[in-house]
Amino acid sequence: MAINLDKAAQWKADIAKSVDMYNDWFMRFAPRAFRETRMRTTREVKASLHQTGNMASIPTALLRQHPEILPTLRMSTCPPLAVDRLIGLAGASRNLVKSMELGRLPPRMTAVDIVRELAKLIGVVTKMADPDIFTWLEHGRAPTKSEVHRAATIVADRLCGAVANPIIRNAQEKRQLAAIKAWLERRGYKQLAPGRGTKFDAMPPATFSFRMNVPVQLQDGVQHVNIPIDAVIMPKTANRGQFPIFFEAKSAGDFTNTNKRRKEEAVKMGQLRATYGDRVRYNLFLCGYFDSGYLGYEAAEGIDWVWEHRIDDIALIGL
């Protein structure tokens, strides 16, 4: 039974209600989510500054041991440096910088090459350290606690500003999954403990799990990869061998971004169907800016959805 994909006459009204719900949440909770992330990031920046002698000295050994501080160093320059700009200015290895942005060093790069490339990065960061933030460097003095805190806050703001959308998206996803959890538990469903080891197609009836990996076969017919599914739910009435119901939690704060990403769900649906056939029931849980273009695209791919502002529609698929 279709939930919303075949009810185009309702889409316009639902889009307006979904946008209102997202905006209400954003105004009340998004600033708090951003603020909490900024406070945590400020503490992390302070720790990084301490390790560099408050930007007075950046030893290569430090970056080898803590490659994850590179984003902090990029945001400590004037102007702040994007990844590609740093690579270009330093003439450094793209592989090294990209790996450091992920918090690690390239496993196949020799120690000699790593030291040489790190020295290039350090040279650029040291030369371009923002004098308006690190005011003590010009005079060669030790900073006060308040100066360090102020500098860390500014750098943290820059870091958070660069990833503001993911911060908001992660907070919204947690809220959406909490809404699904509450809805299911009110109806007698139990969440499987993380790490229990139960496979998605062997879940007991009336259970659910979040961020569960489901293996799919790639086009070559040989390779398999795991794709994460936000919510996997086994109906109360499930028979032995029955497939669970899949949900992806999706939120968006503007219409443009959703239309750029709408193929992601279609690709995932295609991989699931190619591996498991018509047994797959893959749905979206939507809140925010999803226009008729996005909905029509998903409907054409056979992907249905539940609007968060009308969460009880989940029951229409047998839950």
Q: Which of 104, 134, 164 is the last residue of a domain?
A: 164
pTM metric for this prediction: 0.69
Q: Which of 138, 164, 190 is the last residue of a domain?
A: 164
State the CB neighbour count (10 A cutoff) for residue 257. 14
Domain around 230:
8-31+165-317
Q: pLDDT per position in the chain (319 positions), as tens?
A: 788 999 999 999 999 999 999 999 888 887 787 888 888 889 999 999 999 999 999 999 999 999 999 999 999 999 999 999 999 999 999 999 999 999 999 988 999 999 999 999 999 999 999 988 898 998 889 999 989 998 999 999 888 877 777 778 888 899 999 999 999 999 999 998 776 656 777 788 999 999 888 888 776 666 678 888 999 999 988 887 788 999 999 988 888 777 777 788 888 888 888 888 888 889 999 999 898 889 999 999 889 999 999 999 999 988 8
In whole numbers, what is the pLDDT of the chain averaged over residues? Answer: 88
Give the Cα separation of 58 and 75 in Å (integer): 15
Indicate whether 1 belongs to any domain.
Answer: no
190/205 same-domain check:
yes
48/134 same-domain check:
yes
Q: Where are the beta strands (DSSP E) in the chain?
A: 190-191, 207-217, 224-234, 245-252, 281-288, 304-307
- Dump pLDDT digits (tens) for 75-85: 999 999 999 99
Q: Look at the chain and report how many structural domains it folds into.
A: 2
pLDDT recorded at residue 219: 66
pLDDT recorded at residue 38: 84
Q: Where are the beta strands (DSSP E) in 167-317?
A: 190-191, 207-217, 224-234, 245-252, 281-288, 304-307
pLDDT recorded at residue 197: 57
138/207 same-domain check:
no
Residue 105 region by backbone torsions, left for phi larger than 0, else alpha for psi between -120 and 50, else beta: beta
Indicate whether 149 belongs to any domain.
Answer: yes
Please check whether residue 210 is in contact with residue 231, taking contact to mean a CB–CB distance below 8 angstroms. yes
Half-sphere exposure in the Cβ direction for 121 (13 Å, CA): 35
The residues, any chain, with a CB within 8 Å of residue 152's CB and separated by 6 or more, are 42, 43, 45, 46, 49
157/295 same-domain check:
no
